[in-house]
Structure 1
Amino acid sequence: MNKKAIITSALPYANGEIHLGHVASTYLPADVTTRFLKQNGVEAYYVCASDDFGTPILIQSEKEGKTPAEYVAHWNKRDYEDFSAFNIDFDYFYKTSSPENIEFVQDVFKKLNDAGHIYEQEIIQFYCNNDKKFLPDRYVKGSCPYCKAEDQYSDLCESCGRVPEEIIDPKCSLCNQPPTKEKTTHYFFKLKNFGEQLSKWLDENEHLQKDVKKYVQNWIKSGLIDWDITRDITWGVPVPIDGVKDKVFYGWFDNHLAYISTALKFLNDKGINGKEFWNSADIYHFIGKDIVYHHYLFLPAMRLGINSEYKLPDYIPTRGHLTLQAKKISKSRNWYIGLKQFLEYYPADYLRFYLVSINPYSQDDLNFDWDDFTTRINSELIGNLGNFVNRALGFTKKAFDGKIPDPGDFDEKDSEVEQKIKSLASDVGALMEQNHLDRALKKIMEFSSYFNQYFQHKEPWKKGPGTATCVYLSVNAVRSLAIAAFPFIPESAKNIWTQLALDGKINEQSWNSMSDLGISSGHILGDASPLFARVEESDIEKYKKQLGPSE
């Protein structure tokens, strides 16, 4: 395992609140992975930034009577607060409108231009006579020329994931009128020149998902098109060419460069050489499946275009979209649950546990279902893990005044459970390294279930032979569970650690130490109390009714 890592997630757009769909595929898996890497002694940093530029922000800020800078500052702060409440533990959260990112983007552009990868071309662009403006991508909707899906943006088909060369039957998304076409001059990046290098990088990178690689390779084979990297608006990173006015870089040109500029700012401020660290670390970019084209083609091609001055990603964990009650999430139809809203109902760990449980390492979509959430929290988190921890610690407090007894000789069953503890770190760790976070969590829950059965089988409440050994091993298993569960449900893991009254902080325990028998006889436990409260079906019915159109 590389002892250095930089982890990023697709940047949240500073134009509205974070909802469950945002955190499921990118931020939560990235956070869980970062915590795991740190437990393994990796110098890992999770950096992110708000994505501050683009026409939607320009228009929305006008509507609210704010400058774009004031508008994005509000959402940058709010997003960070919501993420923090959900225990997404960024090492640094910055913004694409930072002076450092603007300077970095302009510098990359100059290098690409000097290397001959940029050209200027007069193009015909959609213009809305009604709204009197050129229409950047998100303001033109129509049908995808590839898969014929309707109601798609002109810069990305959410149905097939491709970037359309020209949308069919275009309409202005502001007024729904068909736009006219007017001449303007834009700058283009020669993406089609990078097909061979991109293909080689995809072939050689063993960490990328095979199914994603396969269809990206097919895109390359079918022919890449050069990429229009400028837009005719005022809110964005200005194009650094003399005489060019009211022309900025397309958001997708600048926003993933913020992965690098944000990491450099953070590391350099810490007194670490950011560039050296970046190039010697494992680089992770966590994304949803809708932005594969950008992260597997645009992003690596730009880095190749500046001679890999900053290394290409090692991992691009790509996951599907979250649906809600089996329907597509839609803010406009009130078919979504804001993260802040959810955390007013239940602790962050309930949502973290549930979302990881249902989220495979694949591009399959996952579904948040209130009834399934209720079942999994009550039967698995509470009925299995919470139950075992409470039984083991509660019984020790009651029968032994909280003092861990001397274990006797191990019988065959005791030796078997000791082996379960000793193999837990490697069993779960192997799945974590492969990004199968759902399977890793399942393995932890199987461990808890196994110990519930062991406790039941030994019947320590009968005070027969082997009682002390059962208590000694069970309390040690609780300690193992706390360390293993920490990346997934950090607050609950801290609570378990406090109840165990162990020295140090839970986040400072090494991953492999979960497989030690780390609690000796004579150790005295803290107070034992239930970790979780049941989810009540009456509450769930109330939350279901809040979805959709209000009557």
Structure 2
Amino acid sequence: MLIKKYSISNFKPSTLTTDIWRIHTCKDNTQATFNCAFIKLKPQKESFAHKHHDAETFTIIQGEGVVNCDDAEQKVFPGDIIHFKPFSRHSIKNISNSTELIYQTIWWEPKLEYINEVKKETLQRTTLIFSALPTPNGDLHLGHLAGPYLSADIFYRYNIRNNKSTRHYMGVDRNQSYVAYLAQKLKVTTETISLRYYKKIKETLKISGIHAIHYDEKEQFILGTAHLFNDLFNKGFIFKKRVKTACCKQCDAFQHEAFLLGLCKVCKFEMTGSICENCFAYTGEENLIQPYCNVCQNPINLVDKERFIFKLSHFKEKLTHFYCKTSMPEFAKVFCYDHISTLEDVPVSHCGKWGIKIFIDDKSELVPVYSVLEIAARYISLIKDCGSNKSTQIIQCLGVDNMFNRLILIPALVIACDNHIKLPDINVINYFYLLEGEKFSTSRNHFIHINQLLRNYSLDAVRYYIALTRPENNETEFRYDDFSKIVEEHLINRWDIYIKKLSSIKDLISEKECNPGVWNDTQTIFFEYLKDIQKNANSNYQSSK
């Protein structure tokens, strides 16, 4: 017998919103077949939504809350016991302004038959995978592939192998300022650059074995962007305001994003555009330190100019609710909460000559808008076209330099348009993939195209190494010597030899069915070991931390 005394002093901080007291787990020497803990949730706070292969129950001890399970909500009170099936996404919110919500959670691994039953329900759901749109100002190199695109394709293949309805959507961010910047530099049209590299990007994805539906209906998305802009303008979420705008006297032009350089206001790292590649923070042109023109390299001036502004600060509460329901890495949660604590309104129109230009409803003004508005309009259009509902699983794959746009600005634009449009359930986020310790750079010719590796290695070998070393939780790197070594040790000396041995055995055995006979203990243990490996692999795909 083991007796533990319940005490508030036993609770330890777990996250920004909860304290926890773990009673015991299956790993303790109690030999328990279940895990148990008490959770204390602060007033008006919500636990992070999560799912796992375990079954789980909450028992409410103190306070009142709202439980969300796969988008179904229910009020709960002391004495209520809530059961969650494996792989159901769930969270709980404390609705009191002053009282802490305390509940007991018990989770355990259910019988295999029960897990299989839940899997059947899961397989009936449609999964939509969205990868961050590459910019068509250059071809994709290995650094790009190691980011969102390989992770999206691996999950897509896993789902298809398990007969699960899954679609992977991609396209290109053709109206990005970096496309216009390169076109101006090469003295060609932005359309020429966009089409040239769009074709190369599609070809590289095909060579890399990445399956995706490319959605780039230009006219449809221009109309969608115009509709979104005017809808938010009429609702008051987009408004006119005179703001500080970067102007280069030498070039006689207003410069933004790719046309502008300076130091990040947060970390003082040199940055181009509005997103810092060092700390990933958003910095508006009016806040850049020592800004200068990326065309003529001269300092720029800030002048008052009337622009269209999105009321991003209005969506702090709804974004917080989204973060409690969606799944993302811990570093991304910290990033999001840090940013929404000081959220400011942001411009959605610019004074440049590139990109989508739309009329406001009264046709009085043609407005050039940032491409992020188009990306939000694309998402809304696709979700509606796909007939997405509450049971649809939506996964978003992106890089750390896309966190502000993909986790803060675009969700806010979608919520402003229609609060019922489903946002991503899971966000798969990667850091930068380095080449021999330095960032990939096409301008410095410091990059590898997949074609270079395919001259001497198979596609499977290249994908295996990238999957093994891709930057999931921190920066990682591609090293030629390590790549050759891993291919030699893991694939050639291990798997190739094993497959050849199996093939030789197959040739010796007749086509008649072989009776394995009675298994001994060693064979049985090994078989169970193989089943555990498969079970753990499946669990890692199906659950998201």
Structure 1 and Structure 2 fold alike (TM over 0.5): yes
Contact 2:380 2:414 (8 Å CA) reproduced = no
Q: Taking every aligned residue pair, what percent have the same amino acid on both sides?
A: 23
Structure 1, unaligned stretches of length 5 or more?
A: 265-272, 437-551
Q: Does 1:337 align with 2:445?
A: no
Structure 2, unaligned stretches of length 5 or more?
A: 1-121
The correspondence for 1:177, drawn from 298, 311, 320, is 298
The answer for the alignment partner of 2:83 in structure 1 is none
Contact 2:426 2:544 (8 Å CA) reproduced = no
Partner Cα distance (1:65, 1:138) in 2? 16
The answer for the alignment partner of 1:328 in structure 2 is 439
Contact 1:101 1:257 (8 Å CA) reproduced = yes
Q: Does 1:310 align with 2:421?
A: yes
Deviation at 1:257, TM superposition (A): 3.3
Partner Cα distance (2:263, 2:318) in 1? 31
Contact 1:191 1:298 (8 Å CA) reproduced = yes
CA offsets, 1:182-228, max 9 Å, x none? 333211110001111111221233x222332123112222x101011
Partner Cα distance (1:116, 1:373) in 2? 54
CA offsets, 1:48-94, max 9 Å, x none? 1011013332243345454322331222121111101100011x112
The answer for the alignment partner of 2:330 in structure 1 is 210
Classify the secondary structure of the residue corresponding to 2:243. Answer: strand
Deviation at 1:411, TM superposition (A): 1.9
Contact 2:135 2:176 (8 Å CA) reproduced = no
Deviation at 1:162, TM superposition (A): 0.7
TM-score, length basis structure 1: 0.72
The answer for the alignment partner of 2:20 in structure 1 is none
TM-score, length basis structure 2: 0.73
The correspondence for 2:197, drawn from 62, 70, 75, is 75
Contact 1:195 1:224 (8 Å CA) reproduced = yes
Q: Does 1:61 align with 2:171?
A: no
The answer for the alignment partner of 2:343 in structure 1 is 224
Deviation at 1:275, TM superposition (A): 5.0
The answer for the alignment partner of 1:500 in structure 2 is none
The answer for the alignment partner of 1:21 in structure 2 is 143
Which residues of 2 match residues 356-435 of structure 1 at below 5 A?
356-359=467-470, 361-362=472-473, 364-397=474-507, 399-400=508-509, 405-434=514-543
Classify the secondary structure of the residue corresponding to 1:295. Answer: helix
Tell which deviates more after alignment, 377-386 or 237-246: 237-246
The answer for the alignment partner of 1:456 in structure 2 is none
Contact 1:396 1:403 (8 Å CA) reproduced = no
The answer for the alignment partner of 1:466 in structure 2 is none
Amino acid at match of 2:407: Y
Q: Does 1:195 align with 2:316?
A: yes
Higher normalized strand content (fraction of residues): 2
Which residues of 2 match residues 244-283 of structure 1 at below 5 A?
247-261=367-381, 263=382, 274-277=385-388, 280-283=391-394
Amino acid at match of 2:518: D
Deviation at 1:435, TM superposition (A): 5.8
Partner Cα distance (1:134, 1:278) in 2? 43
Which residues of 2 match residues 90-239 of structure 1 at below 5 A?
90=212, 92-95=213-216, 98-149=218-269, 151-165=270-284, 166-205=287-326, 207-221=327-341, 223-239=342-358
Partner Cα distance (1:311, 1:193) in 2? 19
Taking a change above 3 Å as real, the CA distance of residues 130 and 401 of structure 1, as seen in their structure-2 partners, is farther
Amino acid at match of 1:117: F
Amino acid at match of 2:478: F
Q: Does 1:35 align with 2:146?
A: no
Contact 2:388 2:422 (8 Å CA) reproduced = no
Taking a change above 3 Å as real, the CA distance of residues 39 and 31 of structure 1, as seen in their structure-2 partners, is same
CA offsets, 1:462-491, max 9 Å, x none? xxxxxxxxxxxxxxxxxxxxxxxxxxxxxx
Count of residues in correspondence between the two structures: 420
Tell which deviates more after alignment, 101-110 or 343-352: 343-352
CA offsets, 1:247-289, max 9 Å, x none? 321122222432443x36xxxxxxxx72522654111110111
Q: Does 1:296 align with 2:418?
A: no
Classify the secondary structure of the residue corresponding to 1:104. Answer: helix
Amino acid at match of 1:82: T
Contact 1:5 1:43 (8 Å CA) reproduced = yes
The answer for the alignment partner of 1:462 in structure 2 is none
The answer for the alignment partner of 1:499 in structure 2 is none
* Structural RMSD (CA): 2.2
Higher normalized helix content (fraction of residues): 1
Contact 2:246 2:301 (8 Å CA) reproduced = yes
Contact 1:285 1:317 (8 Å CA) reproduced = yes
Partner Cα distance (1:280, 1:409) in 2? 45
Contact 1:275 1:310 (8 Å CA) reproduced = no
Tell which deviates more after alignment, 55-64 or 280-289: 55-64
Amino acid at match of 2:130: T
Amino acid at match of 2:259: Y
Classify the secondary structure of the residue corresponding to 1:22. Answer: helix
Taking a change above 3 Å as real, the CA distance of residues 15 and 286 of structure 1, as seen in their structure-2 partners, is same
